[in-house]
Chain A
């Protein structure tokens, strides 16, 4: 395989990195410095910052289940891509294969759902 198609992507990476470095390096020189309390606060996606459990505190285990769900369906989606590329060649056989695969993974999803694993509180 020739790596030629990746040269533009590499150029884009370099451009993005250059922009990030330039912005961070230039900001102290060109930006006005008028601080107030809101500006100096920790940034939490725009909501009011709340004290975090630093050291000793734990996060709810629900996050772990969400991450596991994400990984499992991420893997499933990955398999869809080479399947879709070959869909014409594989015909009905390939379709049945993929239906079996998706149904099996969705059994797990149904289990999580019916057990209440998707309820947040």
Chain B
């Protein structure tokens, strides 16, 4: 066991434990906060696996932005501060899907690598990833901008029908109608 193995096992345990708490807690807001721990531990896993840029993207985007959006979504819907009894519906379909996906992934990896020791690839530094994205994967990169455009326009259309339909905001008759 090397230091990296110990770190991987510890971070994996943290991610797994926090992930369990995400789905078992009765507080929606706490589930969101446990998700921060899970995603942070996954960022640590990336770091140990020498995917340096990916680790910090995980911290900035998932821990920083996606969880904020999740908590905003909770605030927007019912603001359930405190425990909710109706968080869990029927447990077994979720457990079945989760266990199935997990077992499938384990089987896939076991089959692909046959328990052999795989060396770490070249470090995922900003130089390496930047070179790959901006020279080899140019079209997917430009498509990402279209995806972002669609996401933002979609968010407006879904969340603000008052401003996305009809004439521009300058000629809106009643601003209190939002």
Contacts and interface: CB of A to CB of B under 8 A. Distances in A.
Measured as residues with beta carbon below 8 angstroms from the partner, the interface class of chain A is 35 or more
A83 B130 CA distance: 6
Contacts, number: 159
B144 interface: yes
A71 B160 contact: no
B131 to A, nearest CB: 6
B149 A107 contact: yes
- Tell me the interface secondary structure of chain A in the complex: helix
A29 interface: no
Contact of B155 (A65, A86, A94, A119): A65
- Tell me the interface secondary structure of chain B in the complex: helix
Contacts of B69: 64, 67-68, 71
Interface stretch (B78-86, B89-97, B104-112): B78-86
A60 B69 CA distance: 14
B130 A82 contact: yes
Given A55-B80, A68-B151, A68-B155, A61 B68 contact: no
Contacts of B168: 114-116
B76 A101 contact: no
Contacts of A72: 148, 151-152
Contacts of B37: none
Measured as residues with beta carbon below 8 angstroms from the partner, the interface class of chain B is 35 or more
B142 to A, nearest CB: 6
B116 interface: no
Contacts of B148: 72, 75-76, 104-105, 108
Contacts of B155: 64-65, 68
A35 B123 CA distance: 55
Contacts of B50: 1
A53 B79 CA distance: 8
12 contacts: A57-B79, A58-B76, A58-B78, A59-B72, A64-B72, A64-B76, A67-B69, A68-B69, A76-B145, A97-B138, A105-B145, A107-B149
